[in-house]
Amino acid sequence: MVVMALPRDSDPASSYEAIRTLNNQATHAIAAGQHDQAAAILVQVEQLLRQPAASGHGVDALMCEYFYRCHSMDLDWQRARYGDGLDHALRGVAIEDTLWHACGAEQPDQFAFSHASWGLISMLTRCQRPLEAEQVFRDLLDDLPRFQARRRCRRDSLESALLAGLCLFFEHPAAGWFERGLPLVERAEQLLGTPENIELLLGLGSYHARLGNDGRARTWIKRGLEAGVAADRIRDDEDLGPIFKRPVRHPGWEWTIQSTPPGAAIWIDDQDTGRQTPALIRVDGPGKHKVRLELAGHVPLICDDTPASNWTWGPVLESHAAVEAARIASEQATQPTSADDQRATAEFLGSTAQRKQLQLELRRAGSYYLDELRIVIDGRGHGEVRVGNYWHKHRPDHGRVKLDGAVIDQVCAAIEASGLTGIVIASRPGVPDEISLHITVRNSRGEKLALTSWASGAPPRFRQIFDLGQLIVERLEPALRTALGLGPARS
């Protein structure tokens, strides 16, 4: 590998303008078919490029333009003259290498070019120098950091270089040469993933088809169709067409079907399988299927969007009672609080004097104490906030605050306005790590009213009461509130 020294440039700005001007001149010369003149101009560009590259002054766009012009010029020449451009292509790769070794460690995404490597592989292939082309292809794959940088920032030219490497094994007629390319082709597939270049994608399919590896070829056919390649194009391809037209016996899928609670009958495509959850079911044939679970006392559950793959499904079946409770709660959440509920709540709270003995407890419970919060307020103005600090035992776990009469009046008025005694909470199974909310009110007569709801889906009237806890949290000293992990406005 040739690595050239990079001389320093004392005036990067003037070099930048000179390179840009020369690139444009080369473009016009190439368009006019004046290849010798274009080659001479690009040699001047090479000399100037080394100067700004050493100090990293905005060469990114200029380098892309230079490599593109070199590649266009070399490969637009007549086949008989490919050898005339080979020295130029070699110099281009040497510049690519020089830029990477000089600047790639600090700016990998700016100096990871592939145009020259692409051109050199193509030139060497057409000059019947396959071993040298193969080595350039191997060098492209062996430098992993550089390959990754090329894939990130200049994927189009990288994929063109990989396509040139793939074509090398198609074009050289020597016996055994085509099979020789398999390790490099597999390495390219592993490093790149699915190409964006359709020609490369289909080329990989053709390569495996010619090797007789139908399974790998089908994989690339499938990816090509997913990328928008017309089926007619694949059907008419001499390598891919026969594989595409050949019927394939579908291997079927294995589905693990569970339910909570278990014991539900499993129906597939409206046919009773005779199995109950949990069960491992073998499904034959491609396409979507309909799965239905039936369990006495529960609402049947249907999935008609099954995947074309192995699958695990474990839904929660809702009981008829839970659905009815949810319906009642939903109706209540959307209806205004009735005067009867407010009157019954006022009677539960008692007179102004009796409300002095009121106690309100608000509690939020989560998994492993991570979201534990308990707030207690009494009618005499005492408030306490306690957090679960199982995982932070070095921090305080509670704080107290004295509330004035106006706050207590506000709490009582909010409870009365909500019609708390008339709230009905629908029961339903929880899900892992779901947070639950609890409200407990005790009056002067020792009577207790307790309500519990999952945080997601709590009725508005329930939430109205629970949010009263924010009044207490906000009255803690700011430093204590922070130490408790509640922040400036958390309830």
CATH value at residue 433 = 3.30.1560
Instruction: Please check whether residues 48 and 177 belong to one and the same domain.
Output: yes
Pairing of strands 311-313, 253-257: parallel
For residue 203, being part of any structural domain is answered with no
For residue 237, being part of any structural domain is answered with no
∠ CA 408-413-416, rounded to 5°:
130
pLDDT value of position 333: 57
pLDDT value of position 103: 73
Amino acid identity of 54? Answer: A
Query: Cα–Cα distance between 238 and 235 in angstroms, integer?
Result: 8
For residue 460, being part of any structural domain is answered with yes
- Mark which of 296, 313, 330 sits at the end of a domain: 313
Range of the domain at 287: 253-313
pLDDT value of position 8: 44
Residues of the chain with confidence (pLDDT) below 70: 1-14, 50-85, 104, 247-252, 285-287, 324-336, 367-371, 389-395, 426-433, 487-491
For residue 224, being part of any structural domain is answered with no
pLDDT value of position 59: 56
Question: What is the total count of domains within the chain?
Answer: 3
Instruction: Please check whether residues 340 and 420 belong to one and the same domain.
Output: yes
351-372 CB burial, b ≥16 within 10 A, e <16: eeeebeebbbbbbbbeeeeeeb
Instruction: Please check whether residues 337 and 478 belong to one and the same domain.
Output: yes
Instruction: Please check whether residues 362 and 270 belong to one and the same domain.
Output: no
pLDDT value of position 490: 40
pLDDT value of position 62: 64
Instruction: Please check whether residues 328 and 305 belong to one and the same domain.
Output: no
DSSP tag of 319:
B
CA atoms within 13 A on the CB side of 430: 15
Query: Cα–Cα distance between 270 and 249 in angstroms, integer?
Result: 24
Instruction: Please check whether residues 449 and 306 belong to one and the same domain.
Output: no
pLDDT value of position 52: 47
Per-residue pLDDT tens for 37-59? 877 887 787 777 766 444 444 55
For residue 221, being part of any structural domain is answered with no
Instruction: Please check whether residues 20 and 144 belong to one and the same domain.
Output: yes
91: closest CA among 108, 115, 110, 109? 115
pLDDT value of position 430: 61
Tokens for 169, please give them.
């094994």
DSSP tag of 276:
E
pLDDT value of position 83: 66
Instruction: Please check whether residues 374 and 261 belong to one and the same domain.
Output: no
Instruction: Please check whether residues 65 and 185 belong to one and the same domain.
Output: yes
Instruction: Please check whether residues 148 and 264 belong to one and the same domain.
Output: no
- Mark which of 287, 313, 339 sits at the end of a domain: 313
∠ CA 250-251-253, rounded to 5°:
110
For residue 21, being part of any structural domain is answered with yes
Query: Cα–Cα distance between 93 and 299 in angstroms, integer?
Result: 69
Instruction: Please check whether residues 324 and 309 belong to one and the same domain.
Output: no
Instruction: Please check whether residues 432 and 476 belong to one and the same domain.
Output: yes
For residue 6, being part of any structural domain is answered with no
Query: Cα–Cα distance between 47 and 19 in angstroms, integer?
Result: 10
